[in-house]
Homo-oligomer: A and B are copies of this chain.
C-alpha cells in the first residue's frame, strides 16, 4: 500500500522549522510495513494545497496531511479538504462540549474562537485528538484514504499512535525492519567488525550515526511476518555475536530507558552530581515514568561552593587538581552517593565550551565519576567544540558507564 505525506505551512517553506513531521511519519509508516513514495510541502495557500491533494490522491492509496488545522484564519486545511471532497460543513455540538470539558478541567475558560473546531466537513469521520483541540479528519473515497492531522508534533503523534497507525496496520507485511542501537563504538569500527556479507544474506544493513551512538538498521523482505521475523533475528544474532556489548537497545529504546529498566530490575538507586552537563543527566534519568523509585537526587554544582557545600568535595582537591579533574569527579560521585544514601553515585565535570578551554584542559574534556558500594573511579573522554552537543555526548557517556556498572551489579 502506497502512502504519501503532505506537510502544510509557510513556516516549513521559509525554513523556520525543520520538517520533523515528515520524518516522524516516514519512519513510523515504514516501520508498520507501508511504502512512503512521495512527501510534499506546500505553504498556507489554498490553491497549492488543492493541487497537492489532487496529485497525491492520484498516485497513492493513502494521503496524510499535517498542519493548518488550528482555530485561526491562516488555518485552511479543513476548508480546502471539504472543498476537494465536495463536502458541506456541519456544526457538531458534541465537539464543543468535549473541548469545554477539557478546558474546564484545567480551570481555563475556553476562548470563543475554539468553537470553530466543531464545524467539520460532513463527509469526514472525526479522529479524536487526545492531547489538543483540533480533531483529525478522515475522508474515504474510491478505496483511498485521506487523513488530515494537526501540525503540532505532539498532537499529530498522539493521534497517529492512538488511531492512525493501528488503522493502517491491518494488512500483510512484506518488509520488516529492526534497529539495533549501539553506543561507545565508532561507525568505521562497527563496519570492520561485522561480517556484512553474511548478515546481508538475511537483511540489508544501514549504519546511522547519531549523537547517542551508531544505530544499525536491518531491512528484510519476505512473503509473510514469520519469514521477516526469522530473517531479522538471524541478522541480529550475527550482530550480537560480534558487537553485543555495545548494544544497549532496539528500535526506539533510548539509553536512559535501558538504564531505567536495569535499575528497576535490580532494584538499585542512583543520585547524580553534575557540573558541565548542567542538569541534562538528571533530566534524562527522570524522563522515565516511575523514576522516583530509583532516582533520589541530583545536584548541579556549577560553583565551587556548591561542590564543597552540597557534595562535600574538599577544598584541597579543587585547589590542587582543579574542578575539572579525575579527583574531583570521584569525590563528587562519592559525595552524592553518600548524601543520597543510594547504590550508585554518578558525576560529570568537564568543559562544555565553546570557550573556557586551555591547552591542558581543552573544550570537550570530560571526566565521569562513578561510585558504588565497592569502588570509585573516573573515566576520561574528549569531545568537540559545540556546547549543546558536548552536553548530549557527555550524558550519553555517563549513562553508558552506569549501564555497564548495572549489568555487573
Contact = CB atoms under 8 A, between A and B. Distances in A.
Contacts of A391: 283, 286-287
A179 to B, nearest CB: 7
Chain A interface bracket (under 10, 10 to 19, 20 to 34, 35 or more): 35 or more
Interface string A294-307: 01111111110110
A302 B292 contact: yes
Nearest to A74: B206
Interface string A21-39: 0111111111000001111
A90 interface: no
A162 interface: no
Interface string A144-156: 0000000010100
Nearest to A107: B382
Given A43-B37, A71-B191, A191-B113, A206 B11 contact: yes
Given A40-B40, A279-B282, A297-B300, A209 B27 contact: no
Interface residues of A, dominant DSSP: mixed
A213 interface: no
A188 B71 contact: yes
Interface string A262-277: 0000000000101001
Given A191-B113, A282-B278, A298-B299, A154 B18 contact: no
A278 B285 contact: yes
A177 interface: yes
A194 B158 CA distance: 30
A245 interface: no
Contacts of A362: 105
A12 interface: yes
B286 A302 contact: yes
Q: How many copies of this chain sit in the oligomeric assembly?
A: 2
Interface in A6-26: 9-20, 22-26
B15 A18 contact: no
Q: Would you list the 10 A-B pairs with minimal beta carbon distance, nearest first? A: A15-B27, A278-B286, A279-B282, A298-B300, A15-B26, A111-B188, A279-B279, A297-B306, A279-B283, A39-B41
19 contacts: A15-B24, A18-B20, A19-B23, A38-B52, A70-B209, A72-B207, A74-B204, A74-B206, A113-B188, A114-B188, A131-B389, A279-B286, A279-B300, A282-B300, A283-B283, A286-B352, A296-B306, A297-B305, A298-B299
Interface of A: 9-20, 22-30, 36-45, 48, 52, 55, 70-74, 105-108, 110-114, 131, 152, 154, 158, 177, 179, 186-189, 191-192, 196, 204-211, 217, 219, 272, 274, 277-287, 289-292, 295-303, 305-306, 309-310, 339-341, 352-355, 362, 364, 382-389, 391
